[in-house]
Amino acid sequence: MNWTTLVSAEDLAAAYGDPSLVVVDCRHVLAGADPGAGERAWQVSHLPGAGHAHLDRDLSDHCKPASLGRHPLPEAADFRAVLVRLGITPASQVVAYDAGDGAMAAARFWWLLRLLGHRRVAVLDGGFARWTALGLPLETVPPTPKAGAYEGDFDMAQVAGTDEVRTRLHDAPGWLLDARAPERFRGEIEPLDPVAGHVPGARNRPYTDNLADGRFRAPGALRADFERLMGGRDPREVVLGCGSGVTACHNLLAMEHAGLAGARIHAASWSGWVSDASRPVATGA
C-alpha cells in the first residue's frame, strides 16, 4: 500500500489485515446541525477498526481568535496526541473516510497529516455510503487501537495566511479558488458567516464539481477544470479557500489526485477574512 490521495472501497477491503493500516472515521455534520451526529453515527457502526476524529474537537482549535476562522488549525502537539490515540505512527498507511464525498471532514484530516509530512494517507473514495452500498463489513463496538507515536511539527509553508491573501488582491484572477457553493460565493446567501460574498479576485470552484455520483471524477477531467481556472499558473502559486478552511481541502485533494501538486490552503478562509471589517468584499459571479 502506498495510497496518497484516494483509495477505492474494494482496494481498502482487500488490504485489511495489513498491520500498517489505520482507518479513521471523520463523519461530521455542519451548517447548524447537531455537531455530535457524526460521532454518534460512528458509535452505531463504522468500518472495522476505525477510530473517530471530530472536526471541532480534534481537527480544529476553537480557543483561537476569530481572525483565524471558524475552524482554526489545531496546535501540532494537540493533533499529534489525536494521532497517538488513533494508533497512528509515521509508518502507518492511513485511510480517512466520512459519510460520503470526503468534504466533511476526511479531506481535512488528510491535509493535517500532510502538514506533518505524512505521505501515506488517503481518503476513501465514496466514503461510508459506498462502503455500505457494496455490503462490506462494519463493526458496532469501539476499536482497541494499537499504540501510536508521532513527533514533528506542521509545515506552515503549506498554509497561506490572510496577510498574504491581502497582498495579492490585485493579481490577475486564478490565484485564489473558493470551494463554497455558488450562491454563497456570489453573496446571495450566507448561512454561517456574518458577511456574504467573497475575497475580491477569487474564482469559484465548488468542491461538489470534483464529484460524480458521490465519487471523485477522473484525474484528466479534474486537471482540465483546474487548469482552466488557474489561468496558466503553476499550482504552487494557487491558494485554496472556502468558508473556514475545511472544504478547501477537498479542492486540494482533487488537484493532487489530478497531478497538480503544490497548492496551499488559506486556513482562515472567508470566515477569517470578514473578521476584520476593513477588508474588501466582492459579490456577484
Q: Are 59 and 38 in contact (CB under 8 A)?
A: no
Weakly modelled stretches of the chain, pLDDT under 70: 31-32
Q: What are phi and psi of 248, to 5 degrees?
A: -60, -30
Sequence spans of domains, the chain: 6-154, 157-273
Residue 215 backbone dihedrals phi, psi, to 5 degrees: -125, 160
Judge whether 6-154 and 157-273 match in fold: yes
The per-residue pLDDT for 202 is 98
Pairing status of strand 239-241 against strand 176-178: parallel
Contacts of 86 (CB under 8 A, 6+ apart): 22, 24, 51, 53, 145, 148
The predicted structure's pLDDT at residue 233: 97
Q: Residues 263, 236: contact at Cβ < 8 Å?
A: yes
pLDDT at 147: 87
The cell 477522473 sits on which residue? 218
Identify the architecture of domain 157-273 in CATH: 3-Layer(aba) Sandwich (3.40)
Burial category of 209 from C-beta neighbours within 10 Å (exposed 0-12, middle 13-18, buried 19 and up): middle
Q: What are the catalytic residues?
A: 242
CA distances to 27, 48, 241, 247, 284 from 76, in Å: 21, 27, 21, 20, 37
Phi-psi region of 31 (alpha: psi -120 to 50; beta: other; left: phi over 0): left
- Write down the architecture of domain 6-154 according to CATH: 3-Layer(aba) Sandwich (3.40)
pLDDT at 146: 86
The span from the first CA to the last CA of the chain, in angstroms, equals 42
